[in-house]
A and B are shown apart, each in its own frame.
Chain A
Amino acid sequence: KQEVTQIPAALSVPEGENLVLNCSFTDSAIYNLQWFRQDPGKGLTSLLLIQSSQREQTSGRLNASLDKSSGRSTLYIAASQPGDSATYLCARGAGSYQLTFGKGTKLSVIP
């Protein structure tokens, strides 16, 4: 069974810090890797999508990388803000529309 693991499960940082969230997956036959943000009780907001042929994607203060050979992706958040506090989910995409989610990293940015 395909597994997606996110470490750490929770992270608390002071405002302004740069931080890295980690995601690992067991099957290197990946189609794409998607990072989402979820606020409590809300739906998911798509942050970045990396196709299997790409190594990284950037959007504003966010940068996501993909290393298929090691089965890892990282989400880098620069100059964190309290508004970044949320749960961040990574999801591994496979064929046949399959998207397998990790359990998420709950981020708290302290003012």
Chain B
Amino acid sequence: DTEVTQTPKHLVMGMTNKKSLKCEQHMGHRAMYWYKQKAKKPPELMFVYSYEKLSINESVPSRFSPECPNSSLLNLHLHALQPEDSALYLCASSQDGGRGFWYTQYFGPGTRLTVL
């Protein structure tokens, strides 16, 4: 099973709302990632968790707050977003070789976020 699941599939929110995106995998992967993808652009890395610890934060604004409650779950908490944050948010996971080394990344279907 190489499945990464993401919920919800679509999300529409106002700039004052608080919402969360959820990602789950049961492949035993210990590295989990959040990416942001704007229309007709490649994915851009936002955060990486390695063994449930935040390993990389690519200078993402604080209105995006990641959380890794256990080795299978990854959340992205959203607050006070801007219309330009509208995008496809992709979660991925991979085996973690430690010290920044990793293997094939498996992606979820994404959450299409629209900020009004």
**A34 contacts B107, CB within 8 Å?**
no
B102's closest neighbor in chain A, by CB?
Answer: A97
Tell me whether B61 is interfacial, beta carbon within 8 Å: no
In the complex, chain B residues whose CB is within 8 Å of the CB of A44: 43, 90, 92, 107
In the complex, chain A residues whose CB is within 8 Å of the CB of B6: 43
A95 with B100: in contact, given A44-B90, A45-B107 (CB under 8 Å)? yes
Tell me whether B53 is interfacial, beta carbon within 8 Å: no
B110's closest neighbor in chain A, by CB?
Answer: A43
Q: Smallest distance from the beta carbon of A93 to chain B beta carbons, Å?
A: 8
Instruction: Write out, one digit per residue, whether chain B residues 14-32 have a CB within 8 A of any chain A CB (1) or not (0).
Output: 0000000000000000010
Interface residues in B, total, Cβ within 8 A? 30
Tell me whether B75 is interfacial, beta carbon within 8 Å: no
Q: Which of A27-47 contact B (CB under 8 A)?
A: 31-32, 34, 36, 41-46
Instruction: Write out, one digit per residue, whether chain A residues 76-108 have a CB within 8 A of any chain B CB (1) or not (0).
Output: 000000000000010001011111011110000
In the complex, chain B residues whose CB is within 8 Å of the CB of A75: none
In the complex, chain A residues whose CB is within 8 Å of the CB of B107: 36, 43-46
A39's closest neighbor in chain B, by CB?
Answer: B109
A99 with B45: in contact, given A42-B109, A43-B109, A46-B106 (CB under 8 Å)? yes
- A-B contact list, 6 entries, CB within 8 Å: A34-B104, A34-B105, A42-B110, A43-B109, A46-B2, A46-B107
